[in-house]
Structure 1
Amino acid sequence: MTVKSGFMLDWSQAALCSGCEATQGCCGRKTTTGQFVCFCNDGLHDKNCKDRDRSKWRTITGLGAAACGVIFLSACLLLCLTRSLFQPHPPVKVEKFLLDYRTLTTTRYTYNDITKMTKKFKHKVGQGGYGSVFQGWLSNGTVVAVKLIEKSHNDGEEFCNEVATIGRIHHVNVVRLLGFCVEGSRRALVYEFMANGSLEKFTNITDVGHWVLRKRLYDIALGIARGIEYLHQGCDQRIIHFDIKPHNILLDHDFTPKISDFGLAKSYCKDRSSVTITEGKGTIGYIAPELFYGNSKHASHKSDVYSFGMLLMAMVGLKEKIGPADGSSSEAYFPQWIHDTISNGQKFEGIGEDKDEMVRKVATIALWCIQWSPIDRPCMKEVIRMFESSTSNLTMPPKHFCHAIQPDYMIEALDSSSTYSGY
């Protein structure tokens, strides 16, 4: 072919050119390399203007996704930080206690462990002073009692007292603490299970409860005395319980008594004669008069001796069962009436001949324990000696009693229909 003007062009990229023009581009060739290009409206050139648009949108989409990811991660971090700041934590006193007592042999459980142990708190067995008590089972099948603390005072002081005191004690007449749980604001205590509950239900006026108590009166009273004596003399430091009463004496399957609930307990060195307290501790009807009426801020182990004496009175002295036949006991101070009855050699109404001597012995020991002045009260070692001696060797104490406490006042806790568990 002859070309008269211009030059001959050989175009082999027709397919690419049509594609470029279809995307509103202008096809051409780079003069330097001879490479086919598609000149787009924005001045950019590529094989296809739409491909360039797609690349641009991919870039925009990628940057947007990255920004969303950063925002999402920031939100998650902020949420975690917020939860950490506002999640309930153990009180400072509890946290300090856990640091100080890291060597405790008592097992620490998680709240999830407690939930599984109690089968989601299915079997409630009682209501304690600070929360509910549930029956539970350890992984080895051991039956336990779990106290879920729902009310807390003094920044968790009662919880710390319980774990620090009972967690280190091993005595046949003191309930055993098997473990505890501290998780946020949740706290729980795990004890050995006491099949017969608290002594309180056996000091009521029912014939069955009264018969069981009379049958085992001596053994139960002596066991409680030995437990208190161990707290006062058998530990490294002297421990004052401050709340000895029927509710806080638990009975196992064999009716062995065990002291429980150490939330008010205080410990101090044995070379000191007393411990400083900031407020009265105990339960009305069992609290020592020097703690309730006096202005003294010092308490000694003799406060527990008084409470033990009133507990013995509750065990042998319910006026509904052994009070005067004419019903006049409510008009006179009950210990005064018991003192007169024993001193005059009279019989207690409602007590069989086989139990009369034992009741008189326990009542006499109780009268010694509830002397008004702490100096006049025996220590628990002397109380045990009284139990182990014959009745004929016991002398009657003077009538130095707390006349301000009336009988109904004394047994106020016994008349309650509470399901208090004692833990």
Structure 2
Amino acid sequence: MTFFQIFLFAYVLSSSPIFTTSQPFDYPTATLSTSWINSVSANHSIDFTDGSTIRAILLRGTFGPRYACGFYCKGNYETYLFAIFIVQTNSGGGITSPSIGFPQLTYNGDLVLKDVDGTLAWSTNTARRSVAGLNLTEMGNLILFDENESVVWQSFDHHTDCLVPGQRLKSGQNLTASVSSSNWTQGGIYLSMTNQGLIASIRSNPPQVYFEYGITNVKLSYAMFINGSLDLYTNSTETSPLAKIDIPPASSAQYIKLDYDGHLKIFEWLTGWKEVADITTGYLGECNYPMVCGENGICSNGQCSCPTSSTDSANYFKLIDGRQPNLGCSQVIPLTCDASKFHKFLDLDEATYFTFTADISSTNINRCKEACLKNCSCKAAIFRYGSNSFDGDCYLPSQIFSLMNNEKDKSHYNSTISIKVQVPPSAIPPSVDLSPASATKGKKSPLGTILGSGIGILLATVAIGILVFIIWKKRKNLREEIEEDFLDQLPGMPTRFSFEDLKNATENFNKKLGEGGFGSVFQGTLKDGTEIAVKCLDEMGQVKKSFLAEVETIGSIHHVNLVRLIGFCADKSHRHLVYEYMKNGSLDKWIYGRTTATPLDWKCRKKIILDIARGLSYLPEECRQKIVHLDIKPQNILLDENFNAKLSDFGLSKLIDRNQSQVVTNMRGTPGYLAPEWLSSVITEKVDVYSFGIVILEILCGRRNFEKSEPEEERHLLSLFKTKAQNGQWLDLIDKHSEDMQSHGGEVVEMMQVAVWCLQGYYANRPSMSTVIKVLEGVKDVEKDLDYNFESPEIATNRIPEVDSRDATPLLPSTLSGPR
């Protein structure tokens, strides 16, 4: 099966192309209901000498390097990228005439990409936004435009690893490098545009920065690549940049690329693509990059090797690939927290690192190493100092990338790196035999023997009791340490904060945002200016399971519609979760009949529903393990400053293996949102679909699913909804506080039908969340002949005693402005 991976800016970087026959016309635009099919044998397939092939469907201009849009393949004709690329054209430049196939610009203005079997792979999500056509501009921007020729969607807003002249990198946007020159999957190195300027980092906890360029005391807005410079601006109305990075002026086509090794390079077409500049080149040279020699590798004069000990002959590291030393080194014996007593340091004198952030100041090397030994997440103690080795700074990174020799004439400091390693079993001394000697000297009287034996037995009994107690206590403490430390060992875990860190960030937990679930939430600000919401968990016996579930579940996953878990604190009795701060708080306060604030309009509510659907689709369908949230409700859906919706509160979530279609578990969640199958304790991810259906109705109707203030016959939303729907009185249910909602009655009713599909009593009749997304995007219709006898809230409410009180989340009035 042919599968299309989606990259909106993937440039063909190869040797000279060999052209096939093509039509001599410029075809940069397409109208609605236009479609194309990808075929290896089609015209306008261009073969390159490195074995790659492109097939253009849109081309802008002839004679020289020009932009084209279409399919890119290298090698096997099995995997393709849908991309915008630069090609060398001649007077015969052209594209294939439109024919039936994929991708297609649909009749309702959505650019969609489908697999060979018709499965939707990607979409611009622009249906019903008055799109009139598709255009590839001379600058290489793929645009969907409306009848007024205004931009509805543009590829310039969706970056991968490249920036072309005229394209902006706005604050909050990234360029992300690929894994390697042959693997275009997104890797760990990225270039961010921030309010302070450009920052290049590699992903770790926290990110490790290797390049910065900007200005202080000014809030920057975006960077733009123009001929001769990369300029930084404060806002969209600026006519001149506040800072710029000079680049060789272009004599032909140019683009900037963040390479897989961390270099930010400028390429220009000069009878083939040639590198003409490297923006990130620093005074420490070629070795001053995070992945030049991979993880744990040492770079010296451009050569890569593994760390070795100067004090013993043990090998602590080995090359991942002996033929490619630049891929890095792995530890022979991986570090484990439950064997921390066998940790030691491999000392590298006069070695340095590409980044340094002092965790401890005015200290010495011994204290630096002691601090690393006490912190399981620490992988090395990096110590820098001037002339006095007893007064230096200590950096304790949680992940080690490429190291390098310290050239003091360039760095102007002394540096030592001590890498934490696990002592091999052969180096561990054998256990000492503590059994007592059996030989005795002389003879004792029978009375003395009896007394001695009795006293010995008594003392032995006491000693054994004390020993058993000590062992039990140590094992208990060890279990708790392992339980917490194992979080540090999981890949991609968020930052671990100390209690003092969070106390300072929240000004001693002074600004309370709200309460809910198992504790209170406070607003705070980290040292780098990041606004956070800190959830403080109370009553340790009840929250331990929730805490570990939440950190393990979302600590290593990232999605635009999931609230980001920045870090956590497991410090003695303190358990805290640190999230990104969500300015507009939880959804419930915006939809439950508010009359004191402007109600959400239809467009905003529709987008919120789609955002929730995308988050719920990601959890079971795209993660390594299926994740079922189990507590979907408006209180657990948070809104950022632009009213983008994100799922939060994963304390009750459940991990399910991919080979499991269902799982048995205790009832958990919130009464009123529970699917009928909870009564059997056998569930699938469809329980979240049911809860999502309830949330849709609450959003559309502007009320809770259970309202005590309403007349008895209208208290339960599902019962009321069933009655109104069967009588064709759908419009009576629309939120009365919003005139805009009333004016879009037809569309709101269509959305109610989506909710009905999600609320089917038998779970197999409910759609998957990916199917729901297709319906919301207008590429699929709602199932017909739906059953309106879904279970009413009275049944779930009457069975509340069956809910495990440790897992249930009470439905409380929410005053929360951050994650709960």
Q: TM-score, normalised by structure 2?
A: 0.37
2:636 to 248, 264, 279: 248
1:336 to 703, 722, 731: 722
1:290 to 665, 677, 684: 677
Deviation at 1:166, TM superposition (A): 1.1
| Aligned mates of 1:405, 1:185 — CA distance in 2 | 40
Corresponding residue for residue 695 of structure 2: 311
Q: Which moved more, 1:236-245 or 1:100-109?
A: 100-109
Q: Which moved more, 1:228-237 or 1:268-277?
A: 268-277
Contact 1:201–1:209 (CA under 8 A) maintained in structure 2? no
Deviation at 1:385, TM superposition (A): 1.5
Deviation at 1:208, TM superposition (A): 5.2
1:170 to 543, 558, 561: 558
2:615 to 207, 227, 236: 227
Contact 2:586–2:637 (CA under 8 A) maintained in structure 1? yes
Corresponding residue for residue 791 of structure 2: 402
| Aligned mates of 1:112, 1:320 — CA distance in 2 | 40
**AA aligned opposite 1:339:** A
| Aligned mates of 2:519, 2:511 — CA distance in 1 | 14
Could you say what secondary structure the match of 1:229 adopts?
helix
| Aligned mates of 1:186, 1:125 — CA distance in 2 | 19
Deviation track 1:136-186 (CA, whole Å, cap 9, x = no partner) reads: 111111111111111344571100111111111110000001111111111
Could you say what secondary structure the match of 2:588 adopts?
helix
Deviation track 1:328-370 (CA, whole Å, cap 9, x = no partner) reads: 53488123134225x4675556364532123212211111111
Corresponding residue for residue 136 of structure 1: 524
Residue 266 and residue 366 in structure 1: after superposition, are their counterparts in 2 closer, same or farther (change >3 A)? same
| Aligned mates of 2:667, 2:723 — CA distance in 1 | 28
Corresponding residue for residue 359 of structure 1: 748
Is residue 590 of structure 2 the alignment partner of residue 205 of structure 1?
Answer: no
Could you say what secondary structure the match of 2:536 adopts?
strand
Contact 1:130–1:152 (CA under 8 A) maintained in structure 2? no
Residue 158 and residue 328 in structure 1: after superposition, are their counterparts in 2 closer, same or farther (change >3 A)? closer
Corresponding residue for residue 301 of structure 1: 685
5 Å-filtered alignment, 1:19-418, equals: 92=479, 95-99=482-486, 101-103=488-490, 104-154=492-542, 156-207=544-595, 211-212=599-600, 214-277=602-665, 279-291=666-678, 294=679, 296-318=680-702, 329-330=714-715, 333-341=719-727, 343=728, 348=733, 350=736, 352=739, 353-389=742-778, 395=784, 397-403=786-792, 405=794, 417-418=813-814
Instruction: Mark the runs of 5 or more structure 1 residues left unpaired by the alignment.
Output: 1-84
Contact 1:229–1:380 (CA under 8 A) maintained in structure 2? yes
**AA aligned opposite 1:386:** V
Could you say what secondary structure the match of 2:489 adopts?
coil
Residue 335 and residue 264 in structure 1: after superposition, are their counterparts in 2 closer, same or farther (change >3 A)? same
**AA aligned opposite 2:530:** T
Deviation at 1:270, TM superposition (A): 1.6
Q: Which moved more, 1:101-110 or 1:387-396?
A: 387-396
Residue 213 and residue 156 in structure 1: after superposition, are their counterparts in 2 closer, same or farther (change >3 A)? farther
Instruction: Mark the runs of 5 or more structure 2 residues left unpaired by the alignment.
Output: 1-471, 799-808
Deviation at 1:414, TM superposition (A): 11
Contact 1:224–1:258 (CA under 8 A) maintained in structure 2? yes
| Aligned mates of 2:559, 2:703 — CA distance in 1 | 33
Corresponding residue for residue 209 of structure 2: none
**AA aligned opposite 1:177:** L
Deviation at 1:390, TM superposition (A): 7.5
| Aligned mates of 1:147, 1:195 — CA distance in 2 | 15
Contact 2:625–2:657 (CA under 8 A) maintained in structure 1? yes
Deviation track 1:202-244 (CA, whole Å, cap 9, x = no partner) reads: 1211235572154411100000000000001111010000000
Could you say what secondary structure the match of 2:751 adopts?
helix
Contact 2:615–2:646 (CA under 8 A) maintained in structure 1? yes
| Aligned mates of 2:600, 2:664 — CA distance in 1 | 39
| Aligned mates of 1:391, 1:355 — CA distance in 2 | 20
Is the strand fraction higher in 1 or 2?
A: 2
The structure, 1 or 2, with the larger RCO (C-alpha pairs under 8 Å, 6+ apart) is 1
Residue 141 and residue 264 in structure 1: after superposition, are their counterparts in 2 closer, same or farther (change >3 A)? same
| Aligned mates of 1:183, 1:345 — CA distance in 2 | 53
Is the helix fraction higher in 1 or 2?
A: 1
Residue 320 and residue 157 in structure 1: after superposition, are their counterparts in 2 closer, same or farther (change >3 A)? closer
Corresponding residue for residue 72 of structure 1: none
Could you say what secondary structure the match of 2:600 adopts?
helix
Contact 1:91–1:156 (CA under 8 A) maintained in structure 2? no
Contact 1:198–1:249 (CA under 8 A) maintained in structure 2? yes
Deviation track 1:287-306 (CA, whole Å, cap 9, x = no partner) reads: 11211xx2x23211010001
**AA aligned opposite 1:336:** K
| Aligned mates of 1:128, 1:257 — CA distance in 2 | 19
Equivalent residue pairs, number:
329
Q: TM-score, normalised by structure 1?
A: 0.69
Residue 233 and residue 101 in structure 1: after superposition, are their counterparts in 2 closer, same or farther (change >3 A)? farther
**AA aligned opposite 2:642:** D
Contact 1:213–1:315 (CA under 8 A) maintained in structure 2? no
Please say which structure displays the higher CA radius of gyration. Answer: 1
| Aligned mates of 1:230, 1:376 — CA distance in 2 | 20
Deviation track 1:95-151 (CA, whole Å, cap 9, x = no partner) reads: 425325424431111111010010111111111211111111111111111111113
Percent of aligned pairs sharing the same letter: 34
**AA aligned opposite 1:180:** F
| Aligned mates of 2:814, 2:477 — CA distance in 1 | 29
Contact 2:484–2:570 (CA under 8 A) maintained in structure 1? no
| Aligned mates of 2:743, 2:481 — CA distance in 1 | 52
Residue 327 and residue 155 in structure 1: after superposition, are their counterparts in 2 closer, same or farther (change >3 A)? closer
Could you say what secondary structure the match of 2:794 adopts?
coil
| Aligned mates of 1:172, 1:206 — CA distance in 2 | 27
Contact 1:238–1:268 (CA under 8 A) maintained in structure 2? yes
